[in-house]
Amino acid sequence: MTLHPTSPDELALILRDAVREDKKVSVAGTGNWSPTEGDLAISTDRMASITELADRDLTMSVEAGATMDTLHRRLAAVGLWLPCDSPGGDRSVGSIIATGTSGPLADSFGPIRDQLLGLTFVTGNGRVITAGGKVMKNVAGFDMTRLVCGSFGTLGIITDAHFRLRPKPQADCTLTARPHHDTAWDIWRTVTQSRTSSACLLNPGSGKDKAQVTVRFTGSVNAVQSRRVELEEANNLDWREEESGGYWGDHSRAVLANPISLTTGSSVSTANAVTTAIDDLLPRGSAWVQRNLVRWAGAASVKELQIFRRTMSESGTPVTVERAPWGILKEVGVFGHLSPETRAVTERLHDSFDPNKILTAGGVFVTD
Amino acid sequence: MPLPQIVIDALINIVGDQWVKISKAERETYSSDGLPTLRSLPAAVVLPASREEVIRVVRVLAHHDVPFVGRGAGTGLSGGGLAGPDAIIISLTRLNCIIRVDPVNQIAVVEPGVVNVRLTEAVQDLDLFYAPDPSSQTACTLGGNIAENAGGPHCMKYGVTSNHVVSLEVVLPDGKVTRLGSDSGQPWGLDLVSAFVGSEGMFGLALEITLRLLPAPKFVITMLADFVSMRDAGEVVTEIVRSPAVPAALEMIDQNCVKAVEESIYSAGFPTDAAAVLLVEVDGHSEDTVDQEAELVTMILTEGRARSVKVAQDSASRERLWHGRKKAFGALGRISPDLVVQDAVVPRTSLPDVLEEIAAIATRHDVKISNVFHAGDGNLHPNINFDGQNPAEVKRVTIAASEIIATCLRVGGTLTGEHGIGIDKKRFMTDLFDKDSLSAMMAVRRAFDTKGIANPGKVLPTHSCSEWKPHSTVATHR
Ligand SMILES: Cc1cc2nc3c(=O)[nH]c(=O)nc-3n(C[C@H](O)[C@H](O)[C@H](O)COP(=O)(O)OP(=O)(O)OC[C@H]3O[C@@H](n4cnc5c(N)ncnc54)[C@H](O)[C@@H]3O)c2cc1C
């Protein structure tokens, strides 16, 4: 059965009933971004409006059921921008926040948590919680906004979000080249370290495929032009200009065309090793390298995922399986092995916010 | 309640005799922080020398259920670093080592007692910098910055402390040590790093802090615009932020504050007859782009009725302007025995109205209010000069401060943008959050601090929270 609450209070009543009746609840989404087993599904489709667009204050309040694409369209119409290009723009804002998915623009604007000013969510014990607010800076109380972001629904169901916005950049230029493998890595390193681009994405390719490096500049016409010239002069390559909207949309679809996607923490000095491990251990898929993460999308068995995660853990690197068919996710979990102390804190949080464990039917904190 | 001798002995055993302060005179030094209106004498002060000593100290205190308060430089402005008579202050100032700088990945690993400005100084030669720059940066510690999620003028472009923390090693209040996050900055499980930043010392102590560094901008232009009308200055802020320019900093200083600065040794050449001045900085990696941004900003300022816009011609004059801004609190501190530095955030567009309302509050209660603040983020700092020995005046100041807060909340603002709740603003938390939301915060705190012994009594008005899931070791609210 799917229920369609229209307000946080209604949702809270539903969740309290679920606790009483010992029912498991899942959030009905567009796919397999979150665990889907449960006795009851909650759809946020009737909480999907943009409740406030303060265009002069550069803030926006939305209900969590609105899709990210809807937000982008609405903002574009008034010359504003939310620098968030998480894969799956047709997903609800709630889903993107809950999974903390960030796209290539996180390189320079930070992940989605950095665009959030506040949230309303309903905990597993049926309480409506407001976190943060609508202003640019806020240290009143503990930062539950960022804590809930990326918690994969374990602490509550998000109903409202407040974002900070930016003026739409005057110019937005995407350049792509397919150089030799080593050159591609050099360019990626240089551009990433210089922090001159809004995004710099490397697809190292596999085998004898050429690597692909894509650089996105946003800003004033002059700023974008001067960075573009700088890039072209520094690298004697055949850079091709792409239409930004189309290119990054295609990228996002390419990620989602695969049944599984995961992210691995990485850095300028470790990214290469991470992609080598991916080549060895997760051969059926592609990897894209960003400043602080490598995203891999493809097909893999539970066993392969577990081995990859264990290998990464040993080098101090977290692997988050952000999306997988339920049968796989149930086995490997979204998050991997946590240290005993971190696990204790996490379990206490989970116990407090969802004492009866009605929100996620496993699949998040599974450890291998 | 005096501290059991067995605890004192155990502490001395760990850190040595001279690093446990129990005499009244010595404890007196730690009885206040940057908030002048509150004092509290701690039971003792302990100054461990190393990470290991801190851990051992916390374990002893946890074992004996003795509450403790971490302490950096004590510049906090909300009373967060004060300890009650049954609590021990753990000073972290001796842990002041920059452990590692990694220029390839642009990160630094530091101990919590490192003074903020020292980090930028240490990485300057690598053309890097650490962005969050609280005005107190020559004194405050990075551990204190983590606890308060500190901001500063340049956070407008670069983000506040939480945007720059990669990972943390912390000792939890039960003495267990854990690493939160990962070297990449990607969370490991729930984002506990983000939860810890801004936890005001109530989740445990940061032992080792990994911070993001940024390439230092090659070109910087600092402008000073002065206005005859405060409203005009307030309105132009929105225009600049709405424009394609992305200023690194956008600060406002009103006439009262300008006068205080100009009469002090920090004189920066601010025009004392202006109703307000704006300090605007643009920066970047290409000279042309920065020039063009400065031109655009100048145009907006002029169209917004700035009386004049002056550009600092060299780094010396730029530094002089910033010195005037960053030492403004010091300058204000000179003109009366006491000064409260207030902190609240409002939507930028309401700045003109709120500033007028603050002026009206000052007149109504016959108090002197000066404003110097991060206008680009709508982060106000109305400062009130007063004499703490004059009870009638203290009363008027308290009422005025409450009215300022009420005004900010009325327009959709918040209680604090960077100084924290501490003790000072605890009583206002119920004006902003309902019982369930406060209880949720309490639950987060309990997840980190099952015993409730880390910095008890701060941030949460416990009578307004209900405990969701009491942990067996806890008998009372702390
Ligand atoms: C003149 C002046 C100007 C200021 N300007 C700014 C400004 O521009 N922006 C701004 O944000 N703030 C500003 N402040 C406030 C203050 O400097 C900051 O809050 C700063 O972060 C406090 O650092 P501290 O080392 O002095 O911490 P303390 O005051 O010693 O402690 C503050 C809190 O941090 C906790 N704490 C300290 N160390 C640790 C640790 N290692 N682990 C966990 N908790 C810890 C303490 O328990 C306490 O709750 C200003 C203060 C003054 C006096």
Encode pLDDT of A108-119 as tens digits: 999 999 999 999
Q: Average model confidence (pLDDT) for chain B?
A: 95
Name which of A31-40, A128-137, A190-199, B178-187 the model is least confident about.
A31-40
Sheet containing B44-46, strands listed edge to edge, beginning at the edge strand earlier in sequence: B20-21, B44-46, B88-91, B68-71
- Whether A142 sits inside 8 A of B198 (CB atoms) is yes
pLDDT, residue A212, reads: 96
Tell whether ligand 1 has an atom less than 6 A from the beta carbon of residue B34: yes
Q: Does B354 score more than 70 pLDDT? A: yes
Q: Which residue from A140, A193, A342 is facing B106, i.e. has the nearest CB? A: A193
Check if B79 has its Cβ closer than 6 Å to any atom of ligand 1. Answer: no
CB B114 within 8 A of CB B101: no
State if pTM tops 0.80: yes
> With bands split at pLDDT 50, 70 and 90, how would you rate the model's confidence at A1?
confident
Cβ of B215 within 8 Å of Cβ of A194? The answer is yes
Predicted local confidence at residue B476, as pLDDT: 37
Q: Retrieve residue B215's tokens.
A: 């390439």
**At the topology level of CATH, where does B5-91 sit?**
3.30.43
Architecture of the domain delimited by B98-215: 2-Layer Sandwich (3.30)
Residue B61 structure tokens = 């205190």
Strand, coil or helix: A217: strand
For the Cβ of B206 lying below 6 angstroms from any atom of ligand 1, the answer is yes
CB B233 within 8 A of CB B276: yes
Q: State the nearest Cα–Cα gap between B19 and chain A, in angstroms.
A: 29
**Which pLDDT belongs to residue A32?**
56
Tell whether the model's pLDDT for residue A30 goes beyond 70. Answer: no
Q: Which of B161, B414, B435 is most worth mutating to test chain A (most A CB atoms within 10 A of its CB)?
A: B414
- How far apart CA A309 and CA A317 sit, in angstroms, is 9
Q: What percent of chain B has pLDDT over 70?
A: 98
Residues of B within 8 A of A123 (CB-CB) are 440
The verdict on a CB contact (< 8 Å) between A57 and B347 is: yes
Confidence of residue B56 (pLDDT cuts 50, 70, 90): very high
Pick B448's closest partner by Cβ from A222, A320, A345. Answer: A345
On chain B, the residues whose CB falls within 8 A of the CB of A137 are: 151, 155, 160, 345, 374, 377-379, 414, 417-418
Q: What is the pLDDT of residue A199?
A: 98
User: By CA distance, what is A225's nearest residue in B?
Assistant: B289
**Cβ–ligand 1 contact at B132 (below 6 Å):** no
Spell out the residues 6+ positions from residue B80 whose beta carbon is closer than 8 angstroms to its own: B33, B147, B148, B200, B201, B420, B421, B422, B423, B455, B458
State the pLDDT confidence band at B305, using cuts at 50, 70 and 90. Answer: very high
Binding site membership of B113 for ligand 1 (Cβ less than 6 Å): no
Distance separating alpha carbons of residues B260 and B257, to the nearest angstrom:
5
The tens digit of pLDDT for each residue in B156-189 reads 999 999 999 999 999 999 999 999 999 999 999 9
Of A57, A143, A293, the CB nearest to B195: A143
Higher local confidence (pLDDT), B395 or B1? B395
CB proximity list for A83: less than 8 A, separation 6 or greater: A105, A108, A109, A115, A166, A198, A218
Topology given in CATH for the domain delimited by B336-410: Alpha-Beta Plaits (3.30.70)
Q: Give A337 to chain B, closest Cα distance, Å.
A: 9
Please say if the pLDDT value at position B414 is more than 50.
yes
Of A143, A222, A270, the CB nearest to B197: A143
Instruction: Using pLDDT thresholds of 50, 70 and 90, give the confidence band for residue A361.
Output: low
Q: Is the pLDDT of residue A326 over 70?
A: yes
CA-nearest residue to B418 within chain A is: A139
Residue B227 confidence (pLDDT) above 50: yes
Interchain proximity A129–B469, CB inside 8 Å: no
Rounded mean pLDDT, A173-179: 96
**Record: contact B192-A219, CB cut-off 8 A:** no
Mean pLDDT of B188-206: 98
- Euclidean distance between CA atoms B457 and A288, whole angstroms: 47
pLDDT at position A69 over 80: yes
Q: What is the ipTM of this complex?
A: 0.96
Chain segment A127-141, per-residue pLDDT in tens? 999 999 999 999 999
Distance B83 CA to ligand 1 centre (A): 15
> Residue B145 Cα, ligand 1 centroid: separation in angstroms?
5
Q: Which of B106, B346, B433 sits opposite A135 (nearest CB)?
A: B346
DSSP B3: P
Q: Is the Cβ–Cβ distance between B284 and B290 less than 8 Å? A: yes
- Phi and psi dihedrals of A344, rounded to 5? -65, -45
- In whole angstroms, give the CA distance from residue B178 to residue B183: 14
The alpha carbon of residue A225 is apart from the nearest alpha carbon of chain B, in Å, by 10
Can you tell me the mean pLDDT for B193-221? 98
Ligand 1: does its nearest atom lie under 6 Å from the Cβ of B152? Answer: yes
Regarding the beta carbon of B425 and ligand 1, being less than 6 Å apart is answered no
Query: Rounded mean pLDDT of B420-427?
Result: 96
Instruction: Compute the distance from residue B419 Cα to the ligand 1 centre, in Å.
Output: 7
A364 has a pLDDT exceeding 50: yes
- pLDDT value for B269: 95
CA B75 – ligand 1 centroid, Å: 5
Nearest to B277 by CA among B370, B179, B145, B213: B370
Q: Is A153 helix (H, G, I), strand (E, B) or coil?
A: coil
B72 ligand 1 Cβ < 6 A: yes
- Report CA A48 to chain centroid distance, whole Å: 20
- Looking at residue B467, what is its pLDDT? 77
Atom of ligand 1 nearest to the CA of B71: 30
CA A351/CA A154 separation, integer angstroms: 10
Is the pLDDT at B468 greater than 90? The verdict is no
For residues B308 and B305, give the distance between their C-alpha atoms in angstroms, rounded to a whole number. 9
At the topology level, CATH places domain B219-327 in: Alpha-Beta Plaits (3.30.70)
Least confident of A263-277, A347-361, B56-70, B192-206: A347-361
Q: Please name the residue whose Cα sits nearest to atom 44 of ligand 1.
A: B201
Let me know: does B451 contact B174? Beta carbons within 8 Å: yes
> Ligand 1: which atom is nearest the Cα of residue B209?
41
What number is the average pLDDT over the span A144-172? 96
Closest listed residue to residue B447, CA positions, set B135, B184, B203: B203
Percent of chain A topping pLDDT 70: 96
Q: Can you tell me the mean pLDDT for A191-212?
A: 90
- Please name the residue that has the structure tokens 């710099």: A200
- Chain B, 185 to 214: residues with Cβ < 8 Å from chain A are 185-192, 194-195, 197-199, 214
Q: What is the mean pLDDT of residues A169-192?
A: 95
| Three-state secondary-structure class, residue B408 | helix
Instruction: Identify the structural domains of chain A with CATH numbers, from first to last.
Output: 2-167 (3.30.465.10), 171-252 (3.30.70.120), 258-332 (3.30.70.2030)
B96-129 burial string, b = 16+ CB within 10 Å, else e? Answer: bebeebbeebbbbbbbbbbbbbbbbebbeeeebb
Q: How would you class B214 by CB atoms within 10 Å of its CB: exposed for 0-12, middle for 13-18, buried for 19 or more? A: middle
Q: Is the CB of B92 under 6 A from ligand 1?
A: yes
At residue A337, does pLDDT exceed 50?
yes
Model confidence at A34, in pLDDT bands (50, 70, 90)?
A: low
